[in-house]
Structure 1
Amino acid sequence: MNAVFAGVLQQSNAIPLMIFVYALSPYENFHRVAWGATLVLLLIYLTLFTVSRILVRGVRL
């Protein structure tokens, strides 16, 4: 897995894949990283969901 940050515009690993691989790892510190990455994904999802609900609230179809 790519552990070096090369910049925003460079290739990097997918977070869900990293979570899966780290969760199956026998090392406790990898488990903590996997939980942290899961929290980051949840926060991104909830933020996007909340913003989209606020933006669409006034739109009528």
Structure 2
Amino acid sequence: MLVQIRAFQDEDGAWCATGIDHGIHTQGESLDELYANIEEASRLHFEDELSGGEAIDVRLIVGH
């Protein structure tokens, strides 16, 4: 399953992310933390739809 996420840094320096086609929203203090939070939020968002071993392919689009 492909999940596209748009990420940006806010005025306080925190990273924010929003799903382009899905209602996934999260944030992190660094890009590494943000990516980990995106993976967790994506798993939770799709937990009822995913079959046993289906993977989530996260595509992160970083902008201003």
- Same fold? TM cut 0.5: no
Greater strand fraction, Structure 1 or Structure 2: 2
After TM superposition, the score normalised by the length of structure 2 is: 0.32
Higher CA-based Rg: 1
Q: Which has the higher contact order (CA 8 A, sep 6+)?
A: 2
After TM superposition, the score normalised by the length of structure 1 is: 0.34
Greater helix fraction, Structure 1 or Structure 2: 1
